[in-house]
C-alpha cells in the first residue's frame, strides 16, 4: 500500500494574541483542503488526527470532533494524540498505520498550539516541564537545564565549544531569513549568540528554540495519485523511545530513540543517510541538532560539530539541514511542530519551497522528538 | 484476526489527595501485568496507549514513554490519546485497529485522571468545559446546562418527569453498593434525589456523575488464548461523531453518535440488542442513560423511561445496565472511565464480578461517549 502526502498548509508561526485558537484551526483546515492539486471533497476525509500538546495552550480538548463536524459529519473518525513535542510525528505515525492497513483512506492531520494563551514565560515553562520525568520535574529541572547537562557532557567528552553550538543557531537563523513562515526572520552572528544571556550554562538564549503560536495541516492518502500527479511519498516511518529521565540514561551524549528510529526508517525505506537530500530535524536546542547528526548517521560520534563548522549542513552544503529555519528560527509551537516539518519536506520535494528551495531535492527526512528525546519519530519521504 | 482482553485492573475510584498521579499509573500497570492468567512478560507489550483527558488533571503529559521506560524500553511504541470522556473508548478503538492489522500484538491501555489536582470544583468545571463547543463555552455553558437542555426537550416531548430521571440515579447507586471499586457506596431514594439541590434545572446534584480520581488498565491481545483460556473477545467496536455544539443539532433528544456507533457495533458483531446480557453505558447525567437506551435499541424513542420505571435495566432485570454503579455511583475520572467500563464487562463475562455478577452473562456491551455525545464508542464483547 502506497501512502503519500497530497496537501500541506501552515500558518506563519508567530504570537497571535488577538486570534482565537479555533480560528487558527479552521484556517489550516480550509487551507489544506484548498491546496490539493486535483481537489478533495470534505466527505473524502475519513480520519482526523489532531496533534496538540497541552490544553493549557489553547483551552481546547476533544478537538477532533470539532473538525469532523466542520467537515460535515460523515463517517469520519477523529481523535487527538499527544506525545509532547513529537505529537505531530506521532499523528503521522498513527495515520500511516491506519492508511497502510486499509482502516482509512485519507487522513487529515491538524497540529496546533497557542503557547501565548498563558500570560508569562514562567507559566509556559511550567507546562512544558510536564513532558519530562516526574522526578526530574520535582527537583525543578526545565528542559533547557536537561539539555544543558547533555551539552556539558558532550563538550567535555568531545572537546566541542560553545562557539560550535552557536554555529547551529547562526545557520538556522540564516535559513529562516528565506522562510516567510518563520517566526524570527533575523540574521545573527556567532558573537550575537555568545553575547546572549545564559539560560542554563552552557546554553544561552540564542541556543534555544522559540515559544510561539502556530498551526499546520497535512492530508495523507493511501490513493495519493488520485489527488495529485506529484505526491510526496511516505517511504517509511519509525517511532522509538528512550528513558524520559536523562538521569536514567547510560550515555548522556546519545539520543537512543533518534538513533533507533533513524536506523529503522533508513532500513525500511531501503536507503542510507547519503541518499537523503534535505532534512528537517528537531533543534529544540542547538546541542540537539549536533547530536541528531550523529544519531542519524551523518557523522561519527563526537564529530557532528565538524558538519556545522565546515558548512556541510548549511543551505548550500552537501546535506542541508533545517532549510526552514528549524525550531530555532521558524519557531516551535509544540503540537504544530512535527506537522510543519513534514509540510516543509513536502514543499521541498515538490520544488515549491521558494527562496529556500534545495535544488533537485528528491529524498527528504524528518526527525521530530519529544522531551529530551524520550520519543522520536523519523520519517523518510521521496518524490 | 481475533482480538481479546486478557487482563484488567482498576483502582477504587476515590479522591486521592495524598497520592501522586505517577504512583497511580505504576499501580495499575503492575496490577494488570500481574492479572494475566498465564502471565505476560513486560517485553511482550509492544504498544502502550495512555488515555488521559487534561494535563490540568494530574500535571503529566508525554506519559506513554514513562510507561514504556517502566516496562524496560524494548521496541514498544507509545502515545497518549484524548477525546474528552471517551478517551478510554478511543484508546481501545485505536488498539483494536493496530492489533487487527498486525501492527501490534499486545496493547497495554492505561487510563487515568487526577481531578482533585485542581483545588476547587469551579476550576474542575472550567477544565471540563474545554471539551465542549468553543462558542457554547464562550457563553458559559457547563455540561450540566447542556444536558439540562437535552433533558428539558426530552421531558417536554415525551412527558417524562424529574422522578423518572431520579430512578436512574437510584438504580445506579443501588448497583454501586455491591461494587468495592465505586467511589460513592451509598443507597439513595427518589426522594433523596428530588430533594438534592438543582445544579441546572431539571438536573440536580444526584442526577450528576461524580468528580473523582481514578486509574484503570487493560491488556488487549491479538493472541488472547496464549495468555488465558478465558479471554473476553472484542467482537466489534465502532466510533461515530455528532456536532459538538448541542445548538447545532437537529434533534436535542437524540444522541446521533451513540445511535450510529451502536448500529455499526451490533452489525459487525452480528447480534441484535436482545443478545446483550449486560451493558456499561455513559450515564454522565441521568438523562443520558435514558436516551442511550433508545439509541442502542433497548426501547423505542420516548420510551426509555419505561425501562427504568419497570426495572428492566435494574440489576435483577432483563438487561442489567451499569451493574458497576455507572459514572453516577462508581465515579467518572475522565481518562479512566472508558477503560474501567471495559474492565467491568471483562469481569462480568468471566464471572469474576463478585456480588454484582450478572448470572451467566455471555455478551456484554460498552457505550462510552465524550462531551454531550460529540464522540461515541460502542464495543461488543463475548466470552
- The secondary structure of B48-101 as a DSSP string is EEEE-S-TTTTS--SHHHHHHHHHT-SS-EEEEEEBTBTHHHHHHHHHHHHHHT
CB B4 within 8 A of CB B221: yes
CA of B178 vs chain A CAs: smallest distance (Å): 33
Name the active-site residue from B85, B133, B173, B369. B85
pLDDT in single tens digits along all 383 residues of chain A: 799 999 999 999 999 876 789 999 999 999 999 999 999 999 999 999 999 999 999 999 999 999 999 999 989 999 999 999 999 999 999 999 999 999 999 999 999 999 998 888 888 988 998 888 888 877 777 899 999 999 999 999 999 999 999 999 999 999 999 999 999 999 999 999 999 999 999 999 999 999 999 999 999 999 999 999 999 999 999 999 999 999 899 999 999 999 999 999 999 999 999 999 999 999 999 999 999 999 999 999 999 999 999 999 999 999 999 999 999 999 999 999 999 999 999 999 999 999 999 999 999 999 999 999 999 999 999 99
Q: Three-state DSSP class for B257?
A: helix
- 93-132 in B: which are within 8 Å (CB) of A? 93-94, 97-98, 100-103, 127, 130-132
Domain containing A96 equals 4-119+212-226
- Whether the Cβ atoms of residue A173 and residue A188 lie closer than 8 Å to each other: yes
- Nearest-10 crossing angle of helices B87-100, A87-100: 50
Domain assignment present for residue A74? The answer is yes
A89 touches A368 (CB < 8 A): yes
* Per-residue pLDDT at A318: 97
Per the DSSP assignment, residues forming a β-bridge with A107 are: A47, A220
CA–CA min distance B65, chain A (Å): 6
Active site residue B85: yes
Number of domains within chain B:
1
Task: For residues A276 and A266, give the distance between their C-alpha atoms in angstroms, rounded to a whole number.
Answer: 10
- Phi, then psi, of B63 in degrees rounded to 5: -80, -30
Is B112 domain-assigned? yes
pLDDT of B369 > 90? The answer is yes
Q: Of all residues in chain B, what percent carry a pLDDT higher than 90? A: 90
* C-beta atoms surrounding B316 within 10 Å: 8
Structure confidence by residue, pLDDT tens digits, B298-329? 999 999 999 999 999 999 999 999 999 999 99
A261 to chain B: closest CA residue: B75
Please report whether residue A273 resides in a domain: no
pLDDT of residue B18: 66
Place of cell 534535505: A278
Q: How far apart are CA A149 and CA A313, in angstroms?
A: 25
Higher pLDDT, B18 or B225: B225
By Cβ distance, the residue of B55, B83, B242 closest to A55 is B55
Residues in chain B: 383
Q: Residue B351, Cα to own-chain centre: how many angstroms? A: 20
In angstroms, rounded to a whole number, what is the distance separating the alpha carbons of residues B331 and B16? 13
How far apart (Å, rounded) are the C-alpha atoms in residues B317 and B358? 10
CATH number reported for the structural domain that contains residue B47 in this entry: 3.40.47.10
pLDDT digits (tens, 9 = 90+) for B294-305: 999 999 999 999
Mean pLDDT, residues B235-261: 96
| Residue A323 within any structural domain of the chain | no
Query: Which whole number is the average pLDDT over B21-34?
Result: 96
Average pLDDT over residues B104-117: 96
Q: pLDDT band for position B252 (50/70/90)?
A: very high
B155 pLDDT tier (thresholds 50, 70, 90):
very high
CB atoms within 10 A of CB A135: 14
Helix, strand or coil, per DSSP, at residue A214: strand
* Best CA proximity match to B285, nearest among B172, B177, B122, B156: B172
User: Which pTM was predicted?
Assistant: 0.97
Residue to substitute from B80, B82, B123, B261, interface A, most A β-carbons within 10 A: B82
Q: What's the sign of the alpha-carbon dihedral B287, B288, B291, B293?
A: negative
Q: Cell numbers of B11, please?
A: 483502582
Task: Provide the pLDDT confidence category of residue B191 given band limits of 50, 70 and 90.
Answer: very high
Closest by Cβ to B82, choosing from A80, A131, A240: A80
Task: Let me know if residue B38 belongs to a domain.
Answer: yes
Domain presence at residue B88? yes
Question: What pLDDT is recorded for position B68?
Answer: 97
Asked if B104 contacts B77 with a C-beta cutoff of 8 angstroms, the reply is yes
Tell me if A57 is assigned to some domain.
yes
Residues in chain B with CB shorter than 8 Å from the CB of A65 are 83, 241-242, 244, 370-371, 374-375
Mean pLDDT value across residues B331-342: 98
Structural domain contains residue B182: no
Average pLDDT over residues B173-198: 97
**pLDDT recorded at residue A192:** 98
Q: Does A64 touch chain B (CB under 8 A)?
A: yes
pLDDT at A20: 83
**ipTM value for the complex:** 0.97
Name the percent of chain A lying above pLDDT 70: 99
Residue ranges with strand state E in B153-277: 198-200, 203-204, 213-221, 232-241
Closest-CA residue of A relative to B371 is: A62
What pLDDT was estimated at residue A134?
84
Amino acid at each position: 500500500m502506497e501512502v503519500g502526502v497530497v496537501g500541506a498548509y501552515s500558518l506563519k508561526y508567530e504570537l497571535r494574541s488577538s486570534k482565537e485558537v479555533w480560528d487558527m484551526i479552521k484556517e489550516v483546515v480550509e487551507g489544506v483542503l484548498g491546496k490539493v492539486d486535483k481537489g478533495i471533497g470534505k466527505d473524502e476525509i475519513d480520519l482526523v488526527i489532531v496533534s496538540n500538546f497541552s490544553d493549557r495552550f489553547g483551552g481546547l480538548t476533544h478537538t477532533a470532533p470539532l473538525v469532523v463536524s466542520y467537515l460535515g459529519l460523515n463517517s469520519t473518525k477523529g481523535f487527538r494524540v499527544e506525545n509532547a513535542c513529537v505529537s505531530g510525528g506521532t499523528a503521522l505515525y498513527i495515520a500511516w498505520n491506519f492508511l497502510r492497513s486499509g482502516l482509512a483512506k485519507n487522513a487529515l492531520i491538524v497540529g496546533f498550539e497557542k503557547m501565548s494563551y498563558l500570560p508569562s514565560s514562567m507559566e509556559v515553562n511550567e507546562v512544558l516541564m510536564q513532558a519530562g520525568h516526574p522526578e526530574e520535574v520535582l527537583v525543578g529541572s526545565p528542559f533547557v537545564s536537561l539539555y544543558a547537562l547533555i551539552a556539558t557532557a558532550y563538550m567535555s567528552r568531545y572537546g566541542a565549544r560553545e562557539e560550535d553550538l552557536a554555529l547551529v543557531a547562526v545557520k538556522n537563523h540564516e535559513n529562516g531569513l528565506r522562510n516567510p513562515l518563520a517566526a524570527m526572520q533575523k540574521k545573527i552572528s556567532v558573537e550575537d549568540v555568545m553575547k546572549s544571556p545564559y539560560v542554563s550554562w552552557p546554553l544561552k538564549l540564542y541556543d534555544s528554540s522559540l515559544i510561539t503560536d502556530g498551526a499546520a495541516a497535512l492530508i495523507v492518502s493511501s490513493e495519493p495519485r488520485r489527488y495529485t500527479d506529484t505526491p510526496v511519498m511516505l517511504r517509511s516511518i519509525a517511532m522509538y523511545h528512550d528513558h524520559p529521565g536523562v538521569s536514567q540514561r547510560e550515555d548522556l551524549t546519545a539520543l537512543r530513540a533518534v538513533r533507533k528510529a533513524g536506523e529503522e526508517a533508513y532500513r525500511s525505506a531501503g536507503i542510507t543517510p547519503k541518499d537523503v537530500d534535505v532534512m528537517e530535524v528537531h533543534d529544540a536546542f542547538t546541542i540537539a541538532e549536533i547530536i541528531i547528526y550523529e544519531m542519524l548517521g551523518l557523522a561519527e560520534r563526537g564529530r557532528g560539530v565538524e558538519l556545522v563548522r565546515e558548512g556541510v549542513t548549511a543551505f548550500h552544503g552537501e546535506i542541508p539541514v533545517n532549510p526552514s529555519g528549524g525550531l530555532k528560527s521558524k519557531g516551535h509551537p509544540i503540537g504544530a511542530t512535527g506537522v510543519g516539518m513534514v509540510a516543509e519536506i513536502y514543499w521541498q520535494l515538490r520544488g515549491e519551497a521558494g527562496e529556500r528551495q534545495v535544488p533537485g531535492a528528491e529524498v527528504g527526512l524528518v526527525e521530530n522528538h519529544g522531551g529530551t528525546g524520550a520519543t522520536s519519530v523519523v520519517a523518510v519521504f521521496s518524490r
